[in-house]
Structure 1
């Protein structure tokens, strides 16, 4: 298994994710008396924090490996020269370098020596997902699909896709071009056709970035220099206002390079990304439970869809977010939650229907323990006393 990591501001979230990530391989290893490892690809931004967190899991029944992806120089958008040359920055400055996207996993995995190590151990496939996708688990039915093709030719690459909703209109999709499956990202679409790309009726699926890949095929393609992925030009602005270019690749773009590649439409439950504290609140609530490494929605929830949650900037920092909740509210009957400003929640709060809580600038709202809010709008500077 491999998970691609992200930015340093999510260190606390990584701790939660790593804890979740180790449960599944432990369950597999115990159930089938096997040795499924957990592999983490870090960037130079996250490597140190990751190693500190992983010290907590040294006694778990799962081997954890890490390797770092490459670092590329940022380029001035106007002159096309490395920014270090023009700004006089040192080689270790954070503004000089960037991690070149998760498509770098193939080269970095190969160069780390870990690919050869796993092949020597008899491993055949690796399951790859983004570290923030809490719905990504090893599904043995998909593994069976990989190894039992009717024509006798094993599939080297499976991309999990799921049905697109209006919340996923920017997600990459699968297309067929020149007889090969390809990943089409929104960054590759001309502006005149972006609305067409976002159409839920035209492109009905999107890439979850859950991928099943043959280790032997990765080795073959790397050694033949045949891992051909489209370059994504990602414009950025540095803190000083300097406009720069980052050249990146997407891991799924390599699908065209593998033999007998396919896409599999999977349930939405396998795509549960946690990119914001609003997402984090959902997965920490009683809406979900963790069973053998898999998050499942509570059967007590009447509707299969998740509530729409929007937390304001006061909740952006994960550590501050955690201090604003004495305990995570009951959200089983919640449809919509908006919270803005200086708001805190006491223990055993229940939220139902549509709840909007807005503390204006300079005001504070404390929701006391045991409060039950159903279809309420709360604003101003107050404490709720009725239960």
Structure 2
């Protein structure tokens, strides 16, 4: 619960201070911070031996009218998001003769079903690992007190935190140490239902060469992407700016394609 208390205290502190992003310090990213894909280097596929692929698998399919994990929704020819994700990593391993492990970050909402479902991949050419993201208590809006009375309180009194929890959860699970011991240095992260988010060797090589801790794939912004996150330069450093961080009096500027010309894709690499 230490991470929850740190996050909650930070929220209360920033709320009390009225802290928010300084719009005057926001600039479009400079050319060194965003590189065109066509200039990325060719690669030696052996770099894949340093890689693990992690899919965020904590969400339910309720918004799509389904019961259980979103990853088991059938999307094509009887195959689910999870089936297709497994197939992608199998193909990668077979094509380059490597062993990239496939990791699922589950939540308390999806873990039991997922553990049962992944048994069907036992004879596949893929190593599947799982761990659970944290479980945080819901907080009463008025009293700011936690809703659960104890650790065994009903599920409805708890929630899985956002994807930013991945680094604490991965470390606390012991899986990070296991991956490092196996020679893995980089993790590719995406949502399990984002099938277009696949390992790209050119981007991976660029990350290694630049010794970047974090690389995000972006594309030109269109009118359909006006509320999507964008990359900015903030006090000389690249940062991701989401619409929820934008002051109301600057929303029109944020949604415009004149100043903010790129938007994020749901694909992240993390060292």
TM-score by length of 2: 0.71
**Where do 1:280-299 residues align within 5 Å?**
none
Cα distance per residue 1:116-148 (max 9 Å; x no partner): 111111111111111121101111111111222
Identify if the C-alpha distance between structure 1 residues 123 and 90 changes in structure 2 by more than 3 Å, giving closer, same or farther: closer
Displacement after TM superposition at 1:67 (Å):
0.6
DSSP-derived class of the 1:201 partner: coil
- Is residue 103–residue 128 contact of structure 2 (8 Å, CA) maintained in 1? yes
Q: Distance in 2 between matches of 1:98 and 1:12?
A: 15
Q: Which has the larger radius of gyration?
A: 1
2:207 matched residue in structure 1: 146
Q: Distance in 2 between matches of 1:79 and 1:31?
A: 56
Indicate whether 1:99 and 2:151 are aligned: no
Cα distance per residue 1:14-37 (max 9 Å; x no partner): 131111111122112212221101
1:72 matched residue in structure 2: 136
Indicate whether 1:2 and 2:2 are aligned: no
Q: Distance in 2 between matches of 1:77 and 1:196?
A: 32
Q: Distance in 1 between matches of 2:209 and 2:151?
A: 53
Counting helix residues as a fraction of each chain, which structure ranks higher?
A: 2
1:126 matched residue in structure 2: 187
- Is residue 8–residue 45 contact of structure 1 (8 Å, CA) maintained in 2? no
Q: Distance in 1 between matches of 2:191 and 2:157?
A: 25
Corresponding pairs, count: 207
Cα distance per residue 1:30-70 (max 9 Å; x no partner): 12221101111111111112112212211110001111111
Specify which structure has the bigger relative contact order, considering alpha-carbon pairs within 8 angstroms and separated by 6 or more residues: 2
DSSP-derived class of the 1:75 partner: coil
- Stretches of structure 2 lacking an aligned partner (at least 5 in a row): 1-52, 73-79
Displacement after TM superposition at 1:82 (Å):
1.4
> Aligned-pair RMSD on alpha carbons?
1.9
TM-score by length of 1: 0.51
**Where do 1:45-194 residues align within 5 Å?**
45-84=109-148, 91-149=152-210, 154-194=211-251
Displacement after TM superposition at 1:74 (Å):
1.0
- Is residue 8–residue 49 contact of structure 1 (8 Å, CA) maintained in 2? no
Displacement after TM superposition at 1:202 (Å):
2.4
Displacement after TM superposition at 1:90 (Å):
7.9
**Where do 1:15-26 residues align within 5 Å?**
15=72, 16-26=80-90
- Is residue 8–residue 46 contact of structure 1 (8 Å, CA) maintained in 2? no
2:106 matched residue in structure 1: 42
Counting strand residues as a fraction of each chain, which structure ranks higher?
A: 1
DSSP-derived class of the 1:170 partner: coil
- Is residue 197–residue 266 contact of structure 2 (8 Å, CA) maintained in 1? no
- Is residue 69–residue 113 contact of structure 2 (8 Å, CA) maintained in 1? no
**Where do 1:243-258 residues align within 5 Å?**
none
Runs of 4+ in 1 over 6 A off after TM superposition: none
Cα distance per residue 1:343-387 (max 9 Å; x no partner): xxxxxxxxxxxxxxxxxxxxxxxxxxxxxxxxxxxxxxxxxxxxx
Q: Distance in 2 between matches of 1:31 and 1:193?
A: 48
DSSP-derived class of the 2:156 partner: coil
